[in-house]
Amino acid sequence: MSHESLENADRRRLLKAGLAVGAAASLPLLPGCGAPPAEPKAGDAEWRNWSGSQVSHPKAWLNPRDEAELAAQMRGAVGNIRVTGASHSFSALCQTDDTLFSLDQLSGIISHDPETLQATVWAGTRLRDIGAPMWKIGQGLSNQGDVNPQSIGGACGTSTHGTGPTLGSFSSMVRGVRLVTAEGEIIDADAEHDAEVFHAASTSLGALGVVSQFKLQNRKAYKLHEREFAEPLAQVLDKLAAYTRDNRHFEFWPFIESDLAVVKILNETEAADVPAPEENLPVTGILNLFARLADTVPGADGPLQRLLTRLHTPVDRIGRSYNIFPSERDSRFNEMEYELPAEQGPACLQEIIATVKQSEVRTLFPLEYRYVAADDCWLSPFYERASCAISVHQHISVDYRPLFDLVEPIFWKYGGRPHWGKLHTLDAARLSQLYPRWDDFLRVRERLDPKGKMLNAHLKKILVTA
Ligand SMILES: Cc1cc2nc3c(=O)[nH]c(=O)nc-3n(C[C@H](O)[C@H](O)[C@H](O)COP(=O)(O)OP(=O)(O)OC[C@H]3O[C@@H](n4cnc5c(N)ncnc54)[C@H](O)[C@@H]3O)c2cc1C
């Protein structure tokens, strides 16, 4: 038997074992290991985010049918007002015990221009619902992140991003907004009209009012070829320049205790579709079980991480861009992410790995390492800076604070700006040092919401200097 077929036989045995473990782990035997809870909806008594780390009990959770109703409801809203999309932010951006808006009924493409490849979309549109209609009009989003339940409003609200050194975040795709203020005023803004509102509202954290429409710069509809494989981390770091130069999208997931990282590469293609591999692991079940074991059984994290990277099934598939970008992420976790000057990425990553390795802190999950192009949105973490995005994760059954407290000062040392939608501990005094247009954003915020109705406790902490 050749070396390769031995490896394949080995892999099949591991896969079978993995399938059995995954099936067992899918049973709700352990806290945090059952089926994910249903997504909360407008009208529910309790709002919670995806990971369950943020919970609140809005007195009114409103779901307007159109802009006129949204404006009227904003005018009549009692107390603090917040707006949520898919509640996929880990930070407390959407928390309120007063009035919460969801724009689930404001969804879809409103208009489009086949010449400029721009489309105006309702802010409540989920990314998962926009790919197929855009394909029909010959357009595609220039980039997307790991998953697609998020709303356009939420993705732009926090500068959500995918990977690719020439590709910006969702905020960088914005060419115009329609905003409804807390007083119910409707403002249309773009680079020519009310430009200061436009620059502030392309990454707004929902602090200016509720954006009802975004005009997005798209590109011609396209297909992607995805390749995902395990490779020694040292080799990936050696090939970093070539990987980023030669591929439209490149990212990798390095583990703390495994020498292997998982690499993902996407490139444009016109070739025929190739489906995903059939032999695939029940990743969610395995991660849920392994995360608990890594936390509770001393010394288990290393062997489990190494087993996970060995179990990894290489992916080689082709399809429409909107079907290729998103992956399944049903094993719930909490996350911290910082965006660093691109050239600082490798040193920062290596310091994080070495620091966690030497500590008592354990995590099963890999880090994620991506590239994002610079933009000119005032509160975008990518403002005038080509960036490298590094994130750390901890399963929801494990206290995330020891890991995140250990890693966050390393991000600061390398000049990191936190992802607004992920967990961090910075306040306005610290954040204002990181954003050249900070005061301009605050001036626009004051103008649009002088009574501070859009500010919850978290937004006060991160935007209002004490
Ligand atoms: C499993 C998972 C995977 C993820 N993958 C990625 C990734 O690959 N890349 C990445 O960058 N991030 C990623 N994130 C983070 C996520 O994309 C962001 O937190 C995003 O903001 C969530 O979108 P949402 O629709 O859930 O918005 P929410 O979390 O509901 O809201 C986010 C912010 O946007 C504001 N907002 C929402 N709608 C509007 C509106 N209409 N008008 C004004 N403000 C509005 C809210 O008030 C809030 O401040 C991931 C999160 C999870 C849970």
Note the pLDDT tens digit of each residue in 402-415. Answer: 999 999 999 999 99
Please give the C-alpha separations between residue 63 and each of 84, 180, 248, 457, in angstroms, as whole numbers.
10, 14, 38, 23
* Same domain? 211 vs 339: no
Asked whether residue 167 carries a pLDDT value surpassing 60, the answer given is yes
User: Cα(248)–Cα(239) distance, rounded to whole angstroms?
Assistant: 15
Looking at the fold, whether 175 and 154 belong to one and the same domain comes out as: yes
Which of 150, 377, 394 maximizes ligand 1 atoms within 8 Å of its Cβ, making it the mutation to test the pocket? 150
In three-state secondary structure terms, 235 is helix
Please compute the mean of the pLDDT values over residues 439-466 and round it to a whole number.
95
- pLDDT, residue 98, reads 97
pLDDT band at 331 (very low <50, low <70, confident <90, very high): confident
What mean pLDDT is reported for the chain?
Answer: 91
Residue 54 within any structural domain of the chain: no
Domain assignment present for residue 448? The answer is: no
Residue 83 CA: which ligand 1 atom is closest?
47
Find the Cα–Cα–Cα–Cα dihedral 254, 258, 260, 265, rounded to 10°.
-20
DSSP assigned state of 27: S
How remote is the CA of residue 299 from the centroid of ligand 1, in Å?
35
Q: How far apart are CA 228 and CA 349, in angstroms?
A: 20
289 pLDDT above the threshold of 90: no
Q: CA angle 364-27-127, nearest 5°?
A: 65
Closest by alpha carbon to 339, among 173, 135, 203? 203
Same domain, 241 and 354: yes
Asked if the model's pLDDT at residue 353 lies above 50, the reply is yes
**Two tokens, residue 186:** 């409707």
Q: Answer yes or no: do 180 and 303 share one domain.
A: no
Report the nearest atom of ligand 1 relative to the CA of 84.
30
- Note the pLDDT of residue 42: 79
Answer yes or no: is pLDDT of 9 > 60. Answer: no
pLDDT at 466 over 80: no
SS3 assignment, position 220: strand
> Is 134 contained in some domain?
yes
319 & 384 share domain: yes
Residue given tokens 């409707």 in the structure block: 186
| H or E element that contains 461 | helix 457-463
Per-residue pLDDT at 414: 98
**DSSP letters of 315-384?**
EEEEEEHHHHS-----S-EEEEEEEEEGGGHHHHHHHHHHHHHHSS---SSPPEEEEE--B--TT-TTBT
How far, in Å, from the CA of 426 to the mean position of ligand 1?
A: 19
- Rounded mean pLDDT, 350-358: 97
Q: Are strands 60-62 and 99-102 parallel, antiparallel or unpaired?
A: parallel
* Ligand 1: residue whose CA is nearest its atom 44: 206
Residues 263-269, mean pLDDT to the nearest whole number = 98
pLDDT at position 18 is: 45
The pLDDT score that the predictor gives to residue 267 is 98
- Ligand 1, CB within 6 Å, residue ranges: 50, 82-89, 93-94, 103, 123, 145-147, 150-151, 153-155, 157-158, 160-161, 204-206, 210-211, 329, 419, 421
| pLDDT given at position 337 | 98
Predicted local confidence at residue 22, as pLDDT: 43
Q: How far is the CA of 157 from the centre of ligand 1 (A)?
A: 7
How far away, in angstroms, is 127 Cα from ligand 1 center? 11
Distance 48 CA to ligand 1 centre (A): 13
pLDDT band (50, 70, 90) for residue 312: confident
pLDDT at 19 over 50: no
Point out the domain boundary residue: 167, 200, 220: 220
Name which residue sits closest to atom 13 of ligand 1, judged by CA. 160
Kindly state the average pLDDT of the residues 319-333. 92
Closest ligand 1 atom to the C-alpha of 124?
A: 41
Rounded Cα distance, 245 and 66, in Å: 45
Residue that is last in its domain, among 190, 220, 250: 220
We report the CATH number of the domain holding residue 125 as 3.30.465.10
What would the pLDDT profile of 152-163 be if each residue is shown by its tens digit?
999 999 999 999
Is the predicted pLDDT of residue 33 greater than 60, yes or no?
A: no
Exposed, middle or buried: residue 242 (CB in 10 Å: 0-12, 13-18, 19+)? exposed
CA atoms within 13 A on the CB side of 421: 24
- Measure 91 CA to ligand 1 centroid, in angstroms: 10
With cut-offs at 50, 70 and 90, classify the pLDDT of residue 281.
low
Residue 14 pLDDT exceeds 50: no
Return the pLDDT at 329.
80
Do 356 and 250 share a structural domain?
yes
List, for residues 60-107, the tens digit of each pLDDT value: 999 999 999 999 999 999 999 999 999 999 999 999 999 999 999 999
Residue 132 and residue 247 share a domain: no
Pairing of strands 99-102, 81-84: parallel
432 assigned to some structural domain: no
pLDDT number for residue 236:
98
- Can you give the pLDDT at residue 26? 39
Q: pLDDT tens-digit profile of 177-207?
A: 999 999 999 999 999 999 999 999 999 999 9
Residues 170 and 186 in one domain: yes
Q: Determine the average pLDDT of the residues in 356-360.
A: 95
pLDDT tens readout for residues 217-250: 999 999 999 999 999 999 999 999 999 999 999 9
Closest-lying ligand 1 atom to the alpha carbon of residue 209:
43
How many Å apart are CA 338 and CA 414, to the nearest integer?
10
Fill in the DSSP letter of residue 313.
Answer: P
Residue 319 covered by a domain = yes
For residues 160 and 176, state if they share a domain: yes
CATH code, domain with 393: 3.40.462.10
Ligand 1 pocket test: which of 98, 160, 331, 332 has the largest number of ligand atoms within 8 Å of its C-beta? 160
Number of structural domains (the chain) is 2
Ligand 1 nearest-atom number relative to CA 86: 26
Percent of the chain with pLDDT over 90: 80
Report the percentage of the chain scoring pLDDT > 70.
90
> Could you tell me if residue 394 is inside a domain?
yes
Domain contains 345? yes
215 and 333: one domain? no
Cβ atoms of 321 and 140 within 8 Å: the answer is: yes
CA of 326 to the centre of ligand 1 (A): 15
Please report the pLDDT score of residue 23 as a whole number: 41
- pLDDT bin (cut points 50, 70, 90) of residue 285 is confident
Q: Which domain holds residue 204?
A: 109-220
DSSP state of 28: S
Quote the Cα angle for 171-226-120, to 5°.
30
Asked if the structure places residue 52 within a domain, the reply is no
DSSP state of 126: B
Residue 125 CA, ligand 1 centroid: distance in Å: 12
Total-model pTM: 0.93
Query: Domain ends where: 203, 220, 237?
Result: 220
Report in angstroms the alpha-carbon separations of 290 from 25, 30, 31, 36, 150: 9, 11, 13, 17, 27
- DSSP state letter for 276: P
User: Within this chain, do residues 192 and 317 fall inside the same structural domain, yes or no?
Assistant: no
Q: Which three-class secondary structure state does DSSP give residue 459? A: helix
Alpha-carbon span 183 to 198, nearest angstrom: 18
Q: Are residues 142 and 169 in the same domain?
A: yes
